[in-house]
Structure 1
Amino acid sequence: MSDGQERAWEEFAPRYLLEVERSEAATSVHPEARLHPAEEYGRAAPLVVEIGSGQGHAIVHAAAQRPHEDFLAVEVFRAGLARTMLDAARAGAGNLRLIEANAPEVLASYLPEASAQEIWVFFPDPWHKSKHNKRRLVDDDFPPIARRALAEGGLLRLATDWEHYARQMREVLDRAEGLERAFDGDWAPRYEGRVMTAFERKGIERGREIRDLTYRRVR
């Protein structure tokens, strides 16, 4: 991290970062570790979880604009978490928490079952080389853990600027049990709650189509 990010981490981690019991790896989550949202946020409110929050542009903006909801950013890179905390403090987003952890473990056990009103997966690493496709987050193992964390009627929102990954996401989620499309046609409309970031703008400038998908937990 840069010196500024180090300072942000030291100053703001006590306020924003969730302490979690680890298993083995530095970003692992112990299978018995649990988040208690009402205790952590000090209230009962809808919970929105962003997987792979990067530098936090989308979730900080949303948390500042939607104070009556709670937000959780899940990320493994400390530099991104440090930037997120710094921007959250500047925006006065007291309804945001961060966890430095592997997303699948957060969804599979750390979040209480049916606790998230929305889960966001915006521009995950596409691992665009064929030999690396198996590293993608959204594969056949992903829908069951996402569904577990979602409340009934809750929404899974995804976006990517890689056509091949978008089609893989759609194929995987279309055949998943307990999830249904929440859009008509081939793709969902752009989610208005997603702030336009430099990353998304760069993809558009390079001629890549942004593909959105939205699925609802039905049972």
Structure 2
Amino acid sequence: MTDPSKPENDDLPREAEETPNKAHRGIKSYVLRAGRMTAAQERGLTEVWPQWGLTLDAGRQDLDTLFGRSAPRVVEIGFGMGQSLIEQAERHPETDFIGIEVHAPGVGKLLDEADKRGLTNLRVYREDALAVLADCLPAASIDTLQLFFPDPWPKKKHHKRRIVQLPFVELVRTRLKPGGTLHMATDWEAYAEHMSEIMAEAPGYENTAPAETSPYVARPAFRPLTKFETRGERLGHGVWDLIYRRT
């Protein structure tokens, strides 16, 4: 892995300037799936992408320039079809959102919907999240990173493909502002336990859970309830939220 150039802000602490070189960008935490595209999804990718889409080729972003203002910044990895991210961006026009997703139908759907709703506080990468974090987002530049319902890779032989690994959370920490939060949610209890174990090893974080006996928090009101999650609740499936603050 090539180390990205350091940000220009010399006032940042040393640990915020450096990108961990252990992030295993050779291992993919996702599988690209082919699928049919709807007319709306095609429209999002062809007509709206030139306005709101971002690429690795653009390199390190100046987020104030990108959004034309200084504002709180939220990054969501793996937004799926974009329902949660769209809802958040519409509810919070004072906040800027960056979504990262590799699947074309979801990216197209999000962009089409954002355009129809007139949202201007949303940008999108169709790229590998680790590459975006390492090469495109400045150090100490985001207030929240959201990782909702990532692929749990339940088979033991596939656990190495889980995105939540120590190099990943160390990289996230360098991109969070001091006091910024990493918010994860999963409906697989074994993956929730894996997340809490990884975070217990990660330096520079504190758990926001109110009780020392459990690493989990109740679903915060600001996290939209998805159709997938609602269906799971009806079937008796659990959901575990974990929120850690960069110290």
Residues in 2 aligned to 1:137 and 1:77: alpha-carbon distance in whole angstroms: 16
How many residue pairs match? The answer is 208
- The answer to whether the Cα contact below 8 Å between 1:72 and 1:98 also exists between their aligned partners in 2 is yes
TM-score by length of 2: 0.81
In structure 2, the residue matched to 1:206 is 235
In structure 1, the residue matched to 2:102 is 76
Deviation at 1:71, TM superposition (A): 0.3
Q: Structure 2 counterpart of 1:19, which letter?
A: T
Would you say 1:129 and 2:174 are equivalent positions? no
Deviation at 1:58, TM superposition (A): 1.0
Would you say 1:138 and 2:167 are equivalent positions? no
Deviation at 1:191, TM superposition (A): 2.0
**Matched residue of 2:225: which SS?**
coil
For residues 179-198 of structure 1, what are the alpha-carbon distances to aligned partners after superposition, in whole Å with 9 as ceiling and x for unaligned? 11012221111021111111
**Matched residue of 2:147: which SS?**
strand
**Matched residue of 2:154: which SS?**
coil
Deviation at 1:205, TM superposition (A): 2.8
Q: Structure 1 counterpart of 2:102, which letter?
A: V
Within the candidate set 48, 55, 73, 1:19 is matched to 55
Deviation at 1:91, TM superposition (A): 2.2
Deviation at 1:108, TM superposition (A): 2.2
Within the candidate set 131, 134, 139, 1:113 is matched to 139
TM-score by length of 1: 0.91
- The answer to whether the Cα contact below 8 Å between 1:60 and 1:87 also exists between their aligned partners in 2 is yes
Deviation at 1:11, TM superposition (A): 1.2
Q: Structure 1 counterpart of 2:176, which letter?
A: L
Within the candidate set 46, 54, 62, 2:88 is matched to 62
Residues in 2 aligned to 1:215 and 1:7: alpha-carbon distance in whole angstroms: 37
- Aligned identity (percent) is 39
Q: Structure 2 counterpart of 1:2, which letter?
A: M
- The answer to whether the Cα contact below 8 Å between 2:166 and 2:201 also exists between their aligned partners in 1 is no
Please identify the structure whose Cα radius of gyration is greater.
2
For residues 133-163 of structure 1, what are the alpha-carbon distances to aligned partners after superposition, in whole Å with 9 as ceiling and x for unaligned? 1110001221111101100000111100000
- Residue segments in structure 1 that go unaligned for 5+ positions in a row: 23-32
Would you say 1:2 and 2:37 are equivalent positions? yes
- The answer to whether the Cα contact below 8 Å between 2:148 and 2:186 also exists between their aligned partners in 1 is yes
Would you say 1:192 and 2:221 are equivalent positions? yes
Deviation at 1:59, TM superposition (A): 1.0
- The answer to whether the Cα contact below 8 Å between 1:162 and 1:210 also exists between their aligned partners in 2 is yes
Within the candidate set 180, 188, 195, 1:162 is matched to 188
- The answer to whether the Cα contact below 8 Å between 1:64 and 1:92 also exists between their aligned partners in 2 is no
Q: Structure 1 counterpart of 2:44, which letter?
A: A
- The answer to whether the Cα contact below 8 Å between 2:206 and 2:244 also exists between their aligned partners in 1 is yes
Residues in 2 aligned to 1:140 and 1:132: alpha-carbon distance in whole angstroms: 16
- The answer to whether the Cα contact below 8 Å between 1:49 and 1:120 also exists between their aligned partners in 2 is yes
Deviation at 1:207, TM superposition (A): 2.2
- Residue segments in structure 2 that go unaligned for 5+ positions in a row: 1-35
> Structure 1 residues 143, 3: CA separation in 2 closer, same or farther (over 3 Å shift)?
closer
Q: Structure 1 counterpart of 2:136, which letter?
A: Y
> Higher mean Cα deviation, 69-78 or 127-136?
127-136
